[in-house]
Each structure stands twice: as structure tokens, then as C-alpha cells.
């Protein structure tokens, strides 16, 4: 049998890009500090309007950060923000630029197309915060898988709740506990918003991995997916019929991923309604049918997804979930 270390060394000498294994140490990027420059990249859908971008820039500036847009940010190639090569070049350039301390990736569709064009040796040699969600799931997952760099699933901090988690995780270097808002409207007797549902009680520990369900399943079978052994898998989605969620969870199960995780968190599936034809399972039924047989701690309703108020979750950092309390607790800092 070929010695693994000898094989890796030989492959590296031959210039073969290998996916970083779980035994490779995590790389924590330097924390972001007030006054740092943040690079905005658009690896996916073209930005057709400027005002949403202006709002995002102002929100980051309110945290004391200096914002720089990538050269091709407003480029157009069909529905993409430039060609695959142009979008990848922006990401590579920001990792190479020592003055850029954080990179925020916009969503849409197209991040998966740039993965083969990224310079992973360059990225590994210049670790920095890479943050995004939705379609950026492909980017943050691919970079983490290839380099073991801790990347971040989270939104631009447009509201105080999201900004608080962003600041504490990315800027302060805290190991935070993520807990849903507990608010009761004045005219209600009980909490109706931000409710959690326990699928199976218990606590579980493992590296946090996941993101958008559609995007994650779209890169299955590629070298850009991490090792899910013992992971806490978190998922979210938007504008997907329940049968499609069922189909994608089935794909994860058939690929053996669900059987390998230690815990499961489902965030929000925004505008994911049952069909209107001859009948449908509910989203709750689909989650229970796929997750309960695993016998692992699991809950749904976490503030992850296409919603205004969100957590910032570091990929690769060990967390502990409490499925009865609906919490996600980081066990270590995500930045150095």
C-alpha cells in the first residue's frame, strides 16, 4: 500500500491540486479590525441596480471598515458579473492584495463556475476572512475544502442583530453562542416569530459545515466538498418547492453524507411552500422523515437563511448544538 504522506508529497511535487483532508490543521484568518479594507467581489449574478450595493457599502462603513469594489463588480456577461475568468480574477487579486483584510462575496448564481479557476496556493498563503451566503456557499465551501481556511456563512451586516454576530465572530474573535431572538409581539400571548422546532433532542459536537442546500448539492461529486464525518450540518434555502427539498435531502442521504454527521440544524426555507396539485408533504414532514431515523440531535428554525436577521457561522470551527434549546455554541474562536 502506498504511504499517504509519500503520495501527497509526490502529488504536490507534480503540481497536482489535492483537496485538503480533515487531518490538515485549520487555518484561522486574522480578525478584521476597524480601519481595515474590505473587498467586495461578485462571483455570481450581475448587479443590475446600484442602490443595494450602496446600502451594503454604507453598512460596512458604519462598522469602521473601508470598502473596495472589485474591478469587475459591475461587469456584465449575460446574467453573470463578467466571464468566469474575470470573476475568478477578482477573487484571486483580492487574496493577493495584502491591504485587503476581508472579502465579501455577493450571491445569485455562478460561484461554482469559478472554483476551478481559483489559485488555492495563493489563497492558502494569504489567509483572510471570506464571507458570504446563498450562492456563495459554493465559494466558501470550496475554499475551505481546498485550503482548510475557516470561511464564514453570513450576510452583509444590514441590521443590528446581524451586525452584532458579525462583529463578535469576525472582529472580536469571540466564541459565541447563537440563539434565536425571543420576542413576543404586544398583541400576542406567546412567541410566534423566530420559533424553533426540535426534531430530536440532545447535544452534538463537530465542525460546522453547510449552507444553501441547493448550492451544496450542486457541487456534490466534485473536489470542492469537505469531509462531513462527525460534522454539524446546517442548511437553508429559498424559493424551493417542498418536493425539491425532499429530492436534495434524498441526494445527501444516498451520497452517505447524512449518515456521517453528528448533528443537524435547518435554518429557514423562505417561500418554500407545498405544491397545489394532488397533495404534498409538508416541510416538517420531509425533515422528520430524513433526519429522525439518523438518531442524532436536530432542530429547525434557526436564524440562518434568506432572512434579514442572521447568524455568522464559521465553516470548520467546532460547535456544540443543543437541539432542545435550539442553540449553536462555538467551541473556539474563528479568527486569530
- Residues recognised as catalytic: 134, 236, 306
Coil, strand, or helix at residue 265? strand
**Cα–Cα distances in Å, from 45 out to 175, 215, 217, 272, 286?**
33, 14, 19, 22, 30
Spatial CB neighbours of 89, under 8 Å, sequence gap ≥ 6: 72, 117
H or E stretch including 217? helix 213-218
Instruction: Provide the sign of the torsion angle of the four alpha carbons 8, 12, 18, 23, taken in this order.
Output: positive
- Angstrom distance (rounded) from CA 44 to CA 227: 25
**CA-wise closest residue to 136 among 163, 103, 118, 109:** 109
Contact 240, 207 (CB under 8 A): no
Contact 115, 299 (CB under 8 A): no
Amino acid at each position: 500500500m502506498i504511504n499517504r504522506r509519500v503520495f501527497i508529497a509526490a502529488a504536490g511535487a507534480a503540481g497536482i491540486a489535492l483537496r485538503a483532508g480533515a487531518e490538515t490543521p485549520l487555518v484561522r484568518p486574522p480578525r478584521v479590525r476597524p480601519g481595515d479594507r474590505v473587498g467586495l467581489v461578485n462571483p455570481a449574478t450581475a448587479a443590475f441596480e446600484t442602490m443595494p450595493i450602496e446600502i451594503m457599502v454604507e453598512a460596512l462603513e458604519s462598522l469602521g471598515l473601508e470598502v473596495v469594489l472589485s474591478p469587475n463588480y459591475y461587469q456584465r456577461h449575460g446574467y453573470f458579473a463578467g466571464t468566469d475568468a474575470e470573476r475568478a480574477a477578482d477573487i484571486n487579486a483580492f487574496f493577493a492584495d495584502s491591504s485587503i483584510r476581508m472579502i465579501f462575496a455577493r450571491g445569485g448564481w455562478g460561484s461554482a463556475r469559478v472554483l476551478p479557476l481559483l489559485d488555492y496556493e495563493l489563497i492558502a498563503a494569504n489567509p483572510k476572512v471570506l464571507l458570504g451566503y446563498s450562492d456563495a456557499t459554493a465559494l466558501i465551501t470550496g475554499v475551505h475544502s481546498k485550503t482548510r481556511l475557516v470561511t464564514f456563512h453570513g450576510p452583509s451586516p444590514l441590521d443590528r442583530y446581524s451586525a452584532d454576530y458579525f462583529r463578535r465572530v469576525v472582529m472580536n474573535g469571540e466564541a459565541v453562542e447563537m440563539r434565536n431572538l425571543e420576542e413576543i409581539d404586544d398583541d400576542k400571548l406567546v412567541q410566534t416569530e423566530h420559533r424553533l422546532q426540535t426534531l430530536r433532542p440532545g447535544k452534538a459536537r463537530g465542525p460546522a459545515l453547510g449552507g444553501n442546500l441547493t448550492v451544496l448539492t450542486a457541487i456534490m461529486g466534485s473536489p470542492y466538498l469537505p469531509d462531513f464525518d462527525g460534522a454539524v450540518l446546517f442548511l437553508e434555502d429559498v424559493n424551493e418547492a417542498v418536493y425539491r427539498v425532499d429530492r436534495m435531502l434524498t441526494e445527501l442521504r444516498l451520497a452517505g453524507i447524512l449518515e456521517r454527521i453528528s448533528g443537524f440544524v435547518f435554518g429557514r426555507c423562505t417561500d418554500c411552500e407545498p405544491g397545489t396539485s394532488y397533495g404534498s408533504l409538508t416541510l416538517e414532514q420531509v425533515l422528520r422523515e430524513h433526519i429522525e431515523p439518523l438518531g442524532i440531535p436536530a432542530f429547525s428554525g434557526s436564524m440562518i437563511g434568506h432572512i434579514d436577521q442572521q447568524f455568522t457561522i464559521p465553516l470548520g470551527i467546532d460547535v456544540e448544538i443543543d437541539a432542545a434549546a435550539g442553540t449553536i455554541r462555538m467551541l473556539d474562536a474563528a479568527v486569530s
